[in-house]
Homo-oligomer: A and B are copies of this chain.
Amino acid sequence: MLETKLTRKLKVQYPLIQAPMAGGPTTPELVAAVSNAGGMGSLGAGYLSPDQIRIAIKEIRRLTDRPFGVNLFVFEEPNPLNDDIEGMNDYLNKYRAELGIASSPPIPQPAESFEEQVNVLLEEDIPVFSFTFGIPSTGVIQAFKRQGTIVIGTATTVEEGIRLEEAGVDAVVAQGSEAGGHRGTFATNAADALIGTMALVPQMVDALSIPIIASGGIMDGRGLAASLVLGASAVQMGTAFLTSAESGAHAAHKQKIVTSTEDATEVTFAYSGKAARGIRTEFMDDMRFYEGTIPDYPIQNVLTRDIRQAATRASNPEFMSLWAGQGLRLAKEQQAAAEIVKQTVEQARIVIGDLGRGV
Protein backbone atom coordinates (compact mmCIF):
# COMPACT_ATOMS: atom_id res chain seq x y z
CA MET A 1 0.00 0.00 0.00
CA LEU A 2 1.65 3.22 -1.24
CA GLU A 3 4.84 1.18 -1.45
CA THR A 4 7.68 2.68 -3.50
CA LYS A 5 11.28 1.71 -4.22
CA LEU A 6 12.27 4.07 -1.41
CA THR A 7 9.90 2.68 1.24
CA ARG A 8 11.39 -0.75 0.55
CA LYS A 9 14.93 0.61 0.83
CA LEU A 10 14.18 2.55 4.03
CA LYS A 11 12.10 -0.34 5.42
CA VAL A 12 9.22 2.00 6.29
CA GLN A 13 5.52 1.54 5.66
CA TYR A 14 4.64 4.89 4.05
CA PRO A 15 6.51 7.24 1.69
CA LEU A 16 6.30 10.05 4.23
CA ILE A 17 9.36 11.56 5.88
CA GLN A 18 9.07 14.15 8.65
CA ALA A 19 11.57 16.85 7.70
CA PRO A 20 14.57 17.40 9.96
CA MET A 21 14.05 20.87 11.47
CA ALA A 22 17.10 22.03 13.38
CA GLY A 23 16.83 24.28 16.40
CA GLY A 24 14.23 22.55 18.51
CA PRO A 25 11.12 21.28 16.66
CA THR A 26 12.32 17.72 16.04
CA THR A 27 12.21 16.34 19.57
CA PRO A 28 12.92 12.62 20.03
CA GLU A 29 9.18 12.31 20.80
CA LEU A 30 8.25 13.73 17.39
CA VAL A 31 10.81 11.65 15.50
CA ALA A 32 9.71 8.45 17.22
CA ALA A 33 5.99 9.19 16.88
CA VAL A 34 6.32 9.59 13.09
CA SER A 35 8.40 6.41 12.76
CA ASN A 36 6.03 4.45 15.00
CA ALA A 37 3.11 5.58 12.82
CA GLY A 38 4.74 4.10 9.71
CA GLY A 39 6.47 7.19 8.31
CA MET A 40 10.06 8.16 8.96
CA GLY A 41 10.99 10.71 11.62
CA SER A 42 14.18 12.77 11.31
CA LEU A 43 16.25 14.55 13.92
CA GLY A 44 17.48 17.97 12.79
CA ALA A 45 20.90 17.81 14.44
CA GLY A 46 22.70 20.62 12.61
CA TYR A 47 23.01 22.82 15.70
CA LEU A 48 23.54 20.02 18.23
CA SER A 49 26.84 19.13 19.89
CA PRO A 50 28.12 15.56 19.51
CA ASP A 51 26.97 14.80 23.07
CA GLN A 52 23.52 16.24 22.48
CA ILE A 53 23.20 14.17 19.31
CA ARG A 54 24.14 10.98 21.15
CA ILE A 55 21.62 11.65 23.90
CA ALA A 56 18.85 12.39 21.37
CA ILE A 57 19.56 9.21 19.37
CA LYS A 58 19.45 7.09 22.51
CA GLU A 59 16.13 8.68 23.45
CA ILE A 60 14.68 8.08 19.96
CA ARG A 61 15.77 4.42 20.19
CA ARG A 62 14.11 4.13 23.60
CA LEU A 63 10.85 5.32 22.00
CA THR A 64 10.89 3.37 18.73
CA ASP A 65 12.54 0.38 17.11
CA ARG A 66 11.62 1.66 13.61
CA PRO A 67 13.98 3.39 11.15
CA PHE A 68 14.67 7.11 11.64
CA GLY A 69 17.04 9.68 10.14
CA VAL A 70 19.52 12.21 11.51
CA ASN A 71 20.32 15.34 9.49
CA LEU A 72 23.50 17.43 9.58
CA PHE A 73 24.57 20.70 7.97
CA VAL A 74 27.59 20.20 5.72
CA PHE A 75 30.08 22.73 7.00
CA GLU A 76 31.28 25.48 4.69
CA GLU A 77 34.19 27.70 5.68
CA PRO A 78 32.80 31.25 5.65
CA ASN A 79 34.84 34.02 4.12
CA PRO A 80 35.23 36.52 6.97
CA LEU A 81 37.06 38.96 4.69
CA ASN A 82 33.77 39.60 2.92
CA ASP A 83 31.97 40.45 6.08
CA ASP A 84 31.70 43.51 8.23
CA ILE A 85 31.17 41.51 11.42
CA GLU A 86 31.73 44.45 13.75
CA GLY A 87 29.38 46.70 11.79
CA MET A 88 26.62 44.10 11.89
CA ASN A 89 27.18 43.50 15.59
CA ASP A 90 26.93 47.23 16.32
CA TYR A 91 23.74 47.36 14.32
CA LEU A 92 22.29 44.37 16.18
CA ASN A 93 22.87 46.13 19.53
CA LYS A 94 19.71 48.10 18.80
CA TYR A 95 17.70 44.88 19.12
CA ARG A 96 19.70 43.75 22.14
CA ALA A 97 18.76 47.02 23.88
CA GLU A 98 15.11 46.49 22.95
CA LEU A 99 15.19 42.96 24.35
CA GLY A 100 17.10 44.03 27.48
CA ILE A 101 20.16 41.85 26.93
CA ALA A 102 23.87 42.68 27.13
CA SER A 103 25.25 44.59 24.18
CA SER A 104 28.74 43.13 24.40
CA PRO A 105 29.17 41.44 21.06
CA PRO A 106 29.32 37.66 21.30
CA ILE A 107 32.50 36.31 19.79
CA PRO A 108 31.64 34.11 16.81
CA GLN A 109 32.30 30.52 17.77
CA PRO A 110 33.29 27.87 15.27
CA ALA A 111 30.32 25.79 14.14
CA GLU A 112 29.74 22.44 15.73
CA SER A 113 32.47 20.21 14.34
CA PHE A 114 30.94 18.39 11.39
CA GLU A 115 33.56 15.68 11.73
CA GLU A 116 32.72 15.03 15.39
CA GLN A 117 29.00 15.05 14.61
CA VAL A 118 29.57 12.50 11.85
CA ASN A 119 31.62 10.30 14.19
CA VAL A 120 28.74 10.08 16.66
CA LEU A 121 26.34 9.08 13.88
CA LEU A 122 28.75 6.40 12.68
CA GLU A 123 29.27 5.09 16.23
CA GLU A 124 25.53 5.02 16.83
CA ASP A 125 25.06 3.18 13.53
CA ILE A 126 21.92 5.13 12.63
CA PRO A 127 19.50 3.78 9.99
CA VAL A 128 19.42 6.93 7.79
CA PHE A 129 21.83 9.86 7.44
CA SER A 130 20.62 12.96 5.63
CA PHE A 131 22.39 16.24 5.03
CA THR A 132 21.95 19.68 3.53
CA PHE A 133 24.04 22.75 2.49
CA GLY A 134 26.45 20.78 0.31
CA ILE A 135 28.06 17.36 -0.17
CA PRO A 136 30.24 15.66 2.46
CA SER A 137 33.51 14.05 1.36
CA THR A 138 33.45 10.69 -0.39
CA GLY A 139 35.08 9.24 2.72
CA VAL A 140 32.13 10.28 4.91
CA ILE A 141 29.48 9.06 2.44
CA GLN A 142 31.24 5.73 1.96
CA ALA A 143 31.73 5.22 5.70
CA PHE A 144 27.96 5.42 6.22
CA LYS A 145 27.20 3.22 3.23
CA ARG A 146 29.70 0.55 4.35
CA GLN A 147 27.79 0.08 7.58
CA GLY A 148 24.44 -0.06 5.80
CA THR A 149 23.20 3.45 6.62
CA ILE A 150 21.00 4.94 3.87
CA VAL A 151 22.40 8.32 2.77
CA ILE A 152 20.09 11.15 1.60
CA GLY A 153 21.24 14.50 0.18
CA THR A 154 19.32 17.75 -0.45
CA ALA A 155 19.10 19.55 -3.80
CA THR A 156 17.31 22.72 -4.90
CA THR A 157 18.22 22.42 -8.61
CA VAL A 158 18.59 19.50 -11.01
CA GLU A 159 22.33 20.19 -11.28
CA GLU A 160 22.70 19.81 -7.49
CA GLY A 161 20.76 16.55 -7.70
CA ILE A 162 23.10 15.25 -10.40
CA ARG A 163 26.15 16.10 -8.27
CA LEU A 164 24.64 14.31 -5.27
CA GLU A 165 23.94 11.18 -7.31
CA GLU A 166 27.53 11.26 -8.59
CA ALA A 167 28.72 11.52 -4.98
CA GLY A 168 26.99 8.23 -4.22
CA VAL A 169 23.91 9.12 -2.17
CA ASP A 170 20.96 6.70 -2.09
CA ALA A 171 18.21 9.30 -2.57
CA VAL A 172 17.81 13.04 -3.05
CA VAL A 173 15.35 15.47 -1.44
CA ALA A 174 14.11 17.85 -4.17
CA GLN A 175 13.52 20.98 -2.10
CA GLY A 176 11.03 23.20 -3.94
CA SER A 177 10.74 26.94 -3.43
CA GLU A 178 7.67 26.51 -1.20
CA ALA A 179 9.73 24.81 1.53
CA GLY A 180 10.13 26.43 4.94
CA GLY A 181 13.44 26.89 6.73
CA HIS A 182 16.92 26.90 5.26
CA ARG A 183 17.42 26.37 1.54
CA GLY A 184 19.81 23.51 0.78
CA THR A 185 21.28 25.41 -2.19
CA PHE A 186 25.01 24.80 -2.63
CA ALA A 187 25.90 24.97 -6.33
CA THR A 188 24.30 28.24 -7.41
CA ASN A 189 23.04 31.43 -5.83
CA ALA A 190 19.94 31.29 -3.66
CA ALA A 191 17.74 33.42 -5.93
CA ASP A 192 18.22 31.14 -8.95
CA ALA A 193 17.40 28.06 -6.90
CA LEU A 194 13.80 28.91 -6.03
CA ILE A 195 12.13 26.35 -8.30
CA GLY A 196 8.55 25.41 -7.40
CA THR A 197 7.99 21.80 -6.33
CA MET A 198 5.58 21.14 -9.23
CA ALA A 199 8.33 22.03 -11.72
CA LEU A 200 11.36 20.74 -9.83
CA VAL A 201 10.24 17.18 -9.04
CA PRO A 202 9.57 15.81 -12.57
CA GLN A 203 12.72 17.46 -13.94
CA MET A 204 14.78 15.90 -11.11
CA VAL A 205 13.09 12.52 -11.62
CA ASP A 206 13.99 12.58 -15.32
CA ALA A 207 17.62 13.54 -14.74
CA LEU A 208 18.49 11.16 -11.87
CA SER A 209 18.21 7.39 -11.54
CA ILE A 210 17.98 7.29 -7.72
CA PRO A 211 14.73 7.90 -5.78
CA ILE A 212 13.54 11.51 -5.38
CA ILE A 213 11.85 12.81 -2.22
CA ALA A 214 9.53 15.77 -2.95
CA SER A 215 9.52 18.62 -0.45
CA GLY A 216 8.09 22.14 -0.33
CA GLY A 217 4.43 23.04 0.18
CA ILE A 218 3.29 19.47 0.87
CA MET A 219 0.87 19.51 3.81
CA ASP A 220 -1.61 16.67 3.37
CA GLY A 221 -2.64 13.60 1.39
CA ARG A 222 -3.27 15.64 -1.75
CA GLY A 223 0.35 16.81 -1.70
CA LEU A 224 1.58 13.27 -1.05
CA ALA A 225 -0.49 11.85 -3.90
CA ALA A 226 0.50 14.67 -6.27
CA SER A 227 4.19 14.10 -5.50
CA LEU A 228 3.94 10.37 -6.22
CA VAL A 229 2.16 11.18 -9.50
CA LEU A 230 5.03 13.54 -10.41
CA GLY A 231 7.41 10.60 -10.00
CA ALA A 232 8.66 11.13 -6.46
CA SER A 233 9.27 8.06 -4.30
CA ALA A 234 8.30 9.84 -1.07
CA VAL A 235 7.58 13.26 0.38
CA GLN A 236 9.24 15.19 3.16
CA MET A 237 6.89 17.36 5.24
CA GLY A 238 8.16 19.97 7.69
CA THR A 239 5.64 22.70 8.46
CA ALA A 240 2.85 20.13 8.85
CA PHE A 241 4.76 18.52 11.75
CA LEU A 242 6.11 21.77 13.18
CA THR A 243 2.72 22.53 14.76
CA SER A 244 2.19 18.96 16.00
CA ALA A 245 1.75 18.17 19.68
CA GLU A 246 5.19 16.53 19.90
CA SER A 247 7.04 19.37 18.14
CA GLY A 248 9.44 21.36 20.27
CA ALA A 249 8.79 24.59 18.36
CA HIS A 250 7.98 27.60 20.56
CA ALA A 251 4.26 28.15 21.20
CA ALA A 252 4.46 31.61 19.60
CA HIS A 253 5.99 30.05 16.45
CA LYS A 254 3.23 27.41 16.27
CA GLN A 255 0.59 30.08 16.84
CA LYS A 256 1.95 32.24 14.00
CA ILE A 257 1.85 29.26 11.63
CA VAL A 258 -1.74 28.26 12.32
CA THR A 259 -2.97 31.87 12.02
CA SER A 260 -1.05 32.94 8.88
CA THR A 261 -1.93 32.74 5.21
CA GLU A 262 0.06 31.39 2.26
CA ASP A 263 1.48 34.83 1.37
CA ALA A 264 2.96 35.51 4.83
CA THR A 265 6.44 34.11 4.22
CA GLU A 266 9.56 35.25 2.42
CA VAL A 267 13.09 34.05 1.85
CA THR A 268 15.51 35.94 4.09
CA PHE A 269 19.22 35.99 4.93
CA ALA A 270 18.60 38.08 8.07
CA TYR A 271 18.86 35.43 10.77
CA SER A 272 21.68 33.16 9.67
CA GLY A 273 23.40 34.60 6.59
CA LYS A 274 21.90 31.75 4.55
CA ALA A 275 18.65 31.85 2.58
CA ALA A 276 15.69 30.50 4.56
CA ARG A 277 11.91 30.82 4.25
CA GLY A 278 9.98 32.08 7.25
CA ILE A 279 6.98 34.16 8.25
CA ARG A 280 7.79 37.85 7.89
CA THR A 281 8.85 39.58 11.11
CA GLU A 282 9.84 43.09 12.13
CA PHE A 283 13.46 41.88 12.26
CA MET A 284 13.31 40.60 8.65
CA ASP A 285 11.74 43.84 7.46
CA ASP A 286 14.40 45.97 9.18
CA MET A 287 17.28 43.85 7.96
CA ARG A 288 16.24 44.31 4.36
CA PHE A 289 18.12 47.61 4.44
CA TYR A 290 21.32 45.68 5.21
CA GLU A 291 21.02 43.27 2.27
CA GLY A 292 24.42 42.65 0.80
CA THR A 293 26.22 43.42 4.08
CA ILE A 294 24.90 40.46 6.10
CA PRO A 295 27.84 38.20 7.05
CA ASP A 296 27.83 34.67 5.62
CA TYR A 297 26.50 31.66 7.44
CA PRO A 298 27.42 30.58 10.08
CA ILE A 299 28.70 33.99 11.26
CA GLN A 300 25.36 35.84 11.10
CA ASN A 301 23.73 32.86 12.79
CA VAL A 302 26.11 33.22 15.74
CA LEU A 303 25.67 37.01 15.83
CA THR A 304 21.86 36.81 16.05
CA ARG A 305 21.74 33.85 18.44
CA ASP A 306 21.44 35.86 21.67
CA ILE A 307 18.71 37.98 20.09
CA ARG A 308 16.70 34.95 18.99
CA GLN A 309 17.17 33.33 22.41
CA ALA A 310 16.05 36.47 24.27
CA ALA A 311 13.03 36.78 21.94
CA THR A 312 12.18 33.14 22.65
CA ARG A 313 12.33 33.71 26.41
CA ALA A 314 10.17 36.82 26.00
CA SER A 315 7.75 35.00 23.63
CA ASN A 316 8.26 37.84 21.16
CA PRO A 317 7.82 36.37 17.68
CA GLU A 318 9.02 39.54 15.90
CA PHE A 319 12.66 38.69 16.69
CA MET A 320 12.37 34.90 16.45
CA SER A 321 13.04 32.95 13.24
CA LEU A 322 9.56 31.71 12.32
CA TRP A 323 10.57 29.17 9.67
CA ALA A 324 7.57 27.98 7.66
CA GLY A 325 6.64 26.88 4.14
CA GLN A 326 3.92 28.27 1.87
CA GLY A 327 1.18 25.79 2.78
CA LEU A 328 0.22 27.73 5.91
CA ARG A 329 -3.56 27.63 5.52
CA LEU A 330 -3.34 23.83 5.73
CA ALA A 331 -1.50 23.76 9.08
CA LYS A 332 -3.34 22.16 11.99
CA GLU A 333 -2.98 22.99 15.66
CA GLN A 334 -1.36 20.57 18.11
CA GLN A 335 -2.42 17.43 16.31
CA ALA A 336 -0.62 14.22 17.35
CA ALA A 337 2.11 13.40 14.82
CA ALA A 338 0.75 9.86 14.42
CA GLU A 339 -2.61 11.37 13.47
CA ILE A 340 -0.95 13.58 10.82
CA VAL A 341 0.71 10.49 9.30
CA LYS A 342 -2.54 8.52 9.37
CA GLN A 343 -4.72 11.27 7.88
CA THR A 344 -2.16 12.09 5.17
CA VAL A 345 -1.92 8.48 4.05
CA GLU A 346 -5.68 7.96 4.14
CA GLN A 347 -6.37 11.13 2.16
CA ALA A 348 -3.74 10.18 -0.43
CA ARG A 349 -5.42 6.81 -0.91
CA ILE A 350 -8.83 8.41 -1.31
CA VAL A 351 -7.79 11.03 -3.89
CA ILE A 352 -5.79 8.51 -5.92
CA GLY A 353 -8.64 6.00 -5.76
CA ASP A 354 -11.23 8.60 -6.80
CA LEU A 355 -9.18 9.78 -9.74
CA GLY A 356 -8.22 6.23 -10.73
CA ARG A 357 -11.89 5.28 -11.06
CA GLY A 358 -12.49 8.27 -13.38
CA VAL A 359 -9.69 7.39 -15.78
Contacts and interface: CB of A to CB of B under 8 A. Distances in A.
Interface in A317-359: 325-327, 329-330, 348-349, 351-353, 355-359
Interface in A52-109: none
Contacts of A351: 229, 231
A191 B263 CA distance: 9
A228 B222 CA distance: 9
A200 interface: yes
Given A196-B196, A202-B330, A229 B352 contact: yes
Interface string A216-229: 11111011011111
Interface of A is mostly: helix
Interface in A274-333: 325-327, 329-330
A314 to B, nearest CB: 27
A330 to B, nearest CB: 6
A230 B351 CA distance: 8
Copies in the complex: 2
A155 to B, nearest CB: 11
Contact of A202 (B157, B206, B219): B219
Given A202-B219, A207-B329, 17 more contacts: A2-B358, A157-B263, A177-B196, A196-B198, A197-B198, A197-B199, A198-B223, A199-B219, A202-B330, A226-B229, A229-B229, A229-B351, A229-B355, A352-B355, A352-B356, A352-B359, A356-B356
Interface of A: 1-3, 157-159, 176-178, 188, 191-200, 202-203, 206-207, 216-220, 222-223, 225-231, 261-263, 266, 325-327, 329-330, 348-349, 351-353, 355-359
